[in-house]
Amino acid sequence: MSPEKKIAQLEQKVKILERMMEDQTRSTFLAHTQLDHSNNTLEQFAYVASHHLQEPLRMVSSYLQLIEKRCPDKLDNESKEFIGFALEGSQRMKQLILNLLEYVDISTHPKEQAVINSETALKLALSKLESAIAQTKAQVTYDALPTVIANESQLQCLFQNLIGNAIKYKDKNTTPKVHISAQKTSSAWDFSVQDNGIGISKEYFDKIFLIFQRLHGNNEYPGTGIGLSICQKIIQHHGGKIWVESEPGKGSNFQFTLLGS
């Protein structure tokens, strides 16, 4: 075959490959757009559904409370116990709905980010955790924290979830100790929330960040399994990452990155 013919054949092949790549890029883009769209639709649905569930739930618990209050003499001990369980269940459901609304709200109503002092967000979180800290006699300490680019109320929520967990998942016989610190890396700040609690096995490091995934029953440690997925979503919206290092019985170190100012 003459060199000219060979070049023409090669050019033909290159054109075919280019066209195939274009097609591939177009269908990947389309698939991404469709996925984004169905994610948004799902989140809108979850938001509206959770919102609408609040009213009937309020009705159920108010009528149960009314029965308890108005008919104390007509109820035997067993019935009172059953009403107690039903009220407990509706209280748990209320918490679940509130957490779910909080989770979906992060994507459906994006919050403005600005240069803020992360220590202020930490102090606000600690004030919300005052009674849990007092009840468990937890010792919470922290280093001086930097200014970062973030949404203050979301950073407060993040600290509140991580420190709340650090206090909740405590070893039965030890006083919880939590230390918060931050280290500068070349491109960002690495935050750490270190506790001396029950710890987590390596095989669960990813699973615990998924929504509704819990490693304990509600009787052992109460919770909804949404807190860490809220933390992950907040950090994703800030362009950072969040992960945990831990060993059972040796405490956990939850870490996340944020851009500095």
Q: Which residues bind ligand ADP (CB under 6 A)?
A: 161, 165-166, 169, 195, 197-198, 200, 208, 214-216, 223-229, 252
Contact 145, 118 (CB under 8 A): yes
Least Å from the CB of residue 246 to ligand ADP = 7
Which CB, 225 or 260, lies closer to ligand ADP? Answer: 225
Strands 189-195 and 252-258: antiparallel
Least Å from the CB of residue 220 to ligand ADP = 9
Least Å from the CB of residue 91 to ligand ADP = 14
Least Å from the CB of residue 119 to ligand ADP = 21
Which CB, 170 or 238, lies closer to ligand ADP? Answer: 170
Tokens representing 184 are: 């500068």
Which CB, 198 or 258, lies closer to ligand ADP? Answer: 198
Which residues lie below 8 Å from residue 196, measured CB to CB, with a gap of 6+? 170, 171, 174, 176, 177, 178, 251
Which CB, 120 or 243, lies closer to ligand ADP? Answer: 243
Which residue's CB atom is positioned nearest to ligand ADP? Answer: 223
Other C-beta atoms within 10 Å of 70: how many?
Answer: 10
Which CB, 122 or 226, lies closer to ligand ADP? Answer: 226
Which CB, 178 or 182, lies closer to ligand ADP? Answer: 178
Least Å from the CB of residue 41 to ligand ADP = 24
Least Å from the CB of residue 249 to ligand ADP = 11
Contact 146, 260 (CB under 8 A): yes
Contacts 24+ apart (CB under 8 A), 168-174: 168/132, 168/221, 168/222, 168/223, 169/195, 169/197, 169/198, 169/221, 169/252, 170/136, 170/138, 170/195, 170/196, 170/197, 170/198, 171/196, 171/197, 171/198, 171/249
How far the first Cα of the chain sits from its last, in Å, is 64
Contact 113, 155 (CB under 8 A): no
β-partners of residue 182 are: 191
Which CB, 197 or 240, lies closer to ligand ADP? Answer: 197
Contact 193, 159 (CB under 8 A): yes
Least Å from the CB of residue 153 to ligand ADP = 18
